[in-house]
Amino acid sequence: MQPAQLAIPCVAALGLLLFVSGFFVSVTRARFWTLHAGANDPAHALTKAVRAHGNTAEYAAFLALLIWLAGQHSQAAWVGWTMLAATVSRYAFVAGMLLSPTLAKPHPLRAVGAFGTYLCGPALCVALLLG
């Protein structure tokens, strides 16, 4: 898989995840007629939506930058697979947050997404250093 061909779709997918999750927070706030309800309840839909979006905001932008740069500077197939895995990991993480009955207990998709992010992010950094 050529990194240059994957960079734009992966960056676009991360951007879409960020903006759709932000919109979902707004819809969920409207559904509960509140700006803050659920903030202390790990099982509340608004809490889960806010944390899923917040975590996406924390990681998506830098992953997008890494993906874009790695796509421009590396021809190694493993970099392309890593870019794709990083993007899928972020989607798995958000799905795990939203599908979980409560954030107080682990969800398999959340764990897979976090592990994938923690593995792929540093790998993309190494790809940039290797050129």
Name the residue range of residue 91's domain: 3-130
pLDDT tens by residue, 6-48: 999 999 999 999 999 999 999 999 998 887 766 689 999 999 9
pLDDT, residue 35, reads 77
Q: What is the pLDDT of residue 51?
A: 95
In the chain, the number of structural domains is 1
Three-state SS across 78-127?
HHHHHHHHHHHHHHHHHHHHHHCCCCCCCCHHHHHHHHHHHHHHHHHHHH
Q: How far apart are CA 130 and CA 46, in angstroms?
A: 42
> Is 0.75 topped by the overall pTM?
yes
The domain spanning residue 57 has which CATH number? 1.20.120.550
